[in-house]
Structure 1
């Protein structure tokens, strides 16, 4: 991750608590200095002072699960202490991003590449599980040649010669090769580019319709409508609506960042509290020409869709004047002073960042855009289900997407024309 708040802890302002706890319990608690049985568990040598009691162990650590829950905004001391300027990075950089890391590392790899100040910097995309691809023979050789070039002066590829190695090397996901199948994924073709995002990208609006369509034709309507779904959904009880394109008439590549422009509101349950916020969970899915959703390999080898995005609507404020604000990636500061009210029945227009992705849509294939009020398929161990951060008191009710002459909803997809 290159951005602790946005990439790891609070997706769109929503706490990504499940992974934080998974990582903390597995990587920190089990390995803490002074914990009994470290050597027996192969976590490292036993403590030379002897085993420490639970109370002392607790005193010696700062619990990340607690800090992330208590700290909601980037100007809190906890998050502010972890900020840095990526432009200060000057060493040669090889950022290896995984298209399957849609809930943790993918955004950080791409943004880290974009904003590092290195003269020699490269972005290489891979697929597969979080750990395994780095040990494939061909990937090891890429890493070795890069390190040899800058650490030994043995540049047999041209990493240290400006313009010799293209800065961006992509793997293109075409077809359905299954998931968690390393050999099958090696069939994906590769292509180099000179920049990210790709300069020839055609950012194309796909409009949502009340009939649950997704079309490049702007809807012409004089009537206002809305589609509704229950708020406070979860992986066990998904609450969502989906919008689907017609079959693509020709093969089409989608590679880059995505933005969703939505008009949303919330209304209360008759017997519930007054809701004061809306959590948006967005997903992009690909349906093959055979009518089957294509699943890709996620971080833990699990089946995942193309990509996801999130936004807590009270943190909808963007900063268009910020140098990192881009048409394809709205910039949010996520400060305590940025919080805006969410009042029931009021309609709010929001631009939601969806993480970058790649897919080659085959002729006859379809794209599905999903709006949900909680985690849906593909979230795996990266769920957002903390009962305090996502409380009934704050979120329970009905969420709505509004349509009409003043309420256009669309997803801007990065279409890549052939070279």
Structure 2
């Protein structure tokens, strides 16, 4: 039986150090539903600024029940009876003079209406919640947004709508581009995470009611392929409309979700005061580290309390704060990762970046010198593989002669073709999966902490070759980050035997390669080590009929290279 929808408000002013109001109802202005929120606020009559979160995981589900193992590892100072997954802890923040408003997204938990996550309607409902929080008698009228992942990704969208009272945002590991960052990497469906995520949504309706009152992301993303499909188009917005001060926090280990969006969200936002901070570690824990909470509080105090201790409101705070991944400290080891040094920069990408081509050779090398291939040749690999049994080719640099830092955006240029296997169907497309790996001077691969604490390589990139068209006239096109529109009109033919020069966007990264270390470029048939739950293995999107065959990288008819951002 589904949970009963509760229209109640409860207060407890004795056993808690703050006032707790549950299931306060907010009527949406377009009459599309009813959003229910929990309010946690300091005792007393003083008006306080408000931190708002809006998401689908169930505002009333305790963190300790939603993810017990994660909760047990959270900084004890950030744990309490009302802690909730990926959101600020009410006990701590009310003690710092903030109210916390935690909303069940429309159509989830105790909120009534149609569930259509990350849609225009969802952002409009979030807009109403922000304005409601600014108008309450206990509110100072200033609202800030703070949260991880979904509670971060939704911030970009609502901030672009400029609700009254919104004064600053901290999107902490939150993708900003629904299509490119999350759903279709390089045009390839990222199906396994979409299903994993969708199955974690919290609703209080029966299955029959849910079918009528929700848009199923697993179905919608499979059925829609292009950004001009109405499903994706309805989720678009202009990042330049974001005008409030923002602190975008990107995790180097988020190589399949969020990282790109935090960087591009920061880059494209129209805010005069915007800051970019890089971290490492698991997806769930760094948000609660004492030193990171202090960064959050300092930023929020500056714009919500006019208490600016670090120069956030004057632009004197570090514009770009980079964590340098130097050495092999292992993975999923928070204390070890805290030994990574930091460095302040004034811009992104770093102005002194030397974009350096490393050329692929037919002998599987990566060389800074363009080799002249005397004859045309190719290296081949099977077009379809599994995470357990991938087909791949690798290209390796010589040992670096000195310590070398790589920080920024990466593009891989390849000349590729495909062909049919004897007796099999004729392939009609080609998917490229690219991975960059770091090898220590001792010859061991260095792994970093992935989203779920799993070992991951430096970074990954993807491209469906039929979606290879680059829009060089678009304002967001850059040599180090080719812009693709991914529209239905962009589809180009892929014919067996035809060689196609393509540029593959590889997500940004950072590493300090020690003297004697190496970099490996891997081109594969599908997902390889480090992909975790973010697989692209839909038997429909990557069907045998359309993709089975052999893929080839060609030499002697054009350069193949990866452009690495070397910091001088």
Q: Report the TM-score, using the length of structure 2 for normalisation.
A: 0.69
> Paired residue for 2:406?
254
> Paired residue for 2:211?
58
Within-5 A mapping of 1:314-333:
314-333=466-485
Within-5 A mapping of 1:124-139:
124-139=277-292
Shift in Å, 1:313: 0.2
Residue in structure 2 matching 1:156, options 309, 321, 327: 309
Larger Cα-atom Rg: 2
> Paired residue for 2:349?
197
CA distance in 2, matches of 1:271, 1:11: 31
Shift in Å, 1:222: 2.6
> Paired residue for 1:4?
178
1:69 to 2:240 alignment: no
Residue in structure 1 matching 2:187, options 6, 10, 13: 13
Shift in Å, 1:407: 1.7
> Paired residue for 1:281?
433
> Paired residue for 1:40?
none
- Any idea what the Cα deviations from partners look like across 1:75-127, whole Å, max 9, x if unmatched? 00000000000000001000000000000100000000000001110000000
Shift in Å, 1:234: 1.8
Within-5 A mapping of 1:17-166:
17-26=191-200, 28=201, 31-34=202-205, 52=206, 54-162=207-315, 164-166=316-318
Shift in Å, 1:236: 1.5
- Any idea what the Cα deviations from partners look like across 1:154-185, whole Å, max 9, x if unmatched? 001111113x1121000000000000000000
Shift in Å, 1:292: 0.2
> Paired residue for 1:229?
381
Shift in Å, 1:57: 2.3
> Paired residue for 2:127?
none
- Any idea what the Cα deviations from partners look like across 1:198-230, whole Å, max 9, x if unmatched? 000000000000100000000112310100000
Larger RCO, structure (CA 8 Å, separation 6 or more): 1
Gap runs ≥5 in structure 2: 1-174
- Any idea what the Cα deviations from partners look like across 1:358-385, whole Å, max 9, x if unmatched? 0000000000000001000000000000
CA distance in 1, matches of 2:323, 2:465: 34
Shift in Å, 1:58: 1.8
Residue in structure 1 matching 2:498, options 341, 346, 364: 346
> Paired residue for 1:412?
563
CA distance in 1, matches of 2:374, 2:337: 48
Gap runs ≥5 in structure 1: 35-51
> Paired residue for 2:97?
none
> Paired residue for 1:336?
488
3-state secondary structure, aligned to 2:199: helix
CA distance in 2, matches of 1:211, 1:113: 40
Shift in Å, 1:413: 0.1
CA distance in 1, matches of 2:339, 2:405: 17
Structure 1 runs of 4+ off > 4 angstroms? none
